[in-house]
Amino acid sequence: MKIQILGTGCAKCNALAANAEQALKETGIKAEIEKVTDIQEIMKFKVLMTPAIAIDGKVLAAGRVVSPEDIGKFLVAAGGDQHG
């Protein structure tokens, strides 16, 4: 499973990445976090506002910092393996 944080590295993008890391800790789900900062790559996701979060290539939220709890729900819904 891959979590992609889409954004240019602004404070909100960094907060979203930290929330994703927190969600992984809380759920015990194993996933890779990738920060996508290249604007051309971000545009491929058809995202109009950053930060955005995608799981396995599917954008689940854009234009806001999603809470660790909501990211955890996204991960479980995406079929993440919970350990612990």
The total of other beta-carbon atoms located within 10 Å of residue 2's CB is: 11
Lateral strand order in the sheet of 52-55: 32-36, 2-6, 52-55, 58-62
Cis ω for the linkage preceding 51 (within 30 of 0): yes
* 13 catalytic per annotation: yes
Catalytic entry in 2, 9, 10, 56:
10
Of 3, 6, 13, 55, the catalytic one is 13
Give the DSSP letter of residue 81: P
Q: Residue 58 catalytic?
A: no
59 membership: H or E segment, kind and range: strand 58-62
Residues recognised as catalytic: 10, 13
